[in-house]
Structure 1
Amino acid sequence: MKLNEYILTQGRGAIGRLAASIGAHAPDVSRWISGKRPIPEKAAVAIETATRGAVTRPEMRPDDWQDIWPELALPAHQQEAGHA
């Protein structure tokens, strides 16, 4: 789910609540939602956690997530083997 779609499902005050939960400023979150600014890597991780995976890092950073988090590209069985 895209960040803007997630915010729409969360009702009034969602931007402020998300901003507070990830330690960001609401205007920054608004810019990320609108696409005026890219979502920083650190914020993407925090958003994925705060949304309990409803908004994923690959969805937030579709052009470069493989370079930033290559472990996300591994098939599930390889991820499990690496953590065994």
Structure 2
Amino acid sequence: MTTTLSDADQCRQALEKVLSLCDDNQSELARRCGVKQPHVWKWLRAGRVPVERVPDVVAAVAGQVQAWELRPDLPRLFPQPETHPRAAA
């Protein structure tokens, strides 16, 4: 039996991955995103990145974490890419 993570857990995991890509340094992530470190602390505390900062965070880690991973709770804004190629018509 496989277990799926809740959206909140997925957000937290993605944010933890982003932070690890910044050497677990909140100040470094903040610098890359153009915000101050307390903002990053609030994101970590809340377990998610604010919608308006998602593109900055993705850019901060050169796309190693995607927007849909950071905010799976917002599939209309950040759709997950299809994993199955469409058949040719």
What interval of TM-score do these two structures reach, taking the shorter chain for normalisation? 0.5 to 0.7
Of 64, 67, 80, the match for 1:57: 67
Aligned length, in residue pairs:
73
In percent, how many aligned pairs have the same letter? 21
The structure with the greater share of residues assigned to helix is 1
State the shift of 1:24 in Å.
Answer: 1.2
TM-score (structure 2 length as normaliser)? 0.62
Match of 1:31 in 2: 42
State the distance in 1 between where 2:52 and 2:42 align: 16
Aligned pairs for 1:4-43 (under 5 A) are 4-11=16-23, 14-34=25-45, 36=46, 38-43=48-53
State the distance in 1 between where 2:73 and 2:47 align: 14
State the shift of 1:30 in Å.
Answer: 1.5
Q: Which has the higher contact order (CA 8 A, sep 6+)?
A: 2
The secondary structure found in structure 1 opposite 2:76 is helix
Q: What's the RMSD between the two structures over aligned residues?
A: 2.6
Letter in 1 for 2:63: G
Runs of 5+ in structure 1 lacking a partner? 79-84
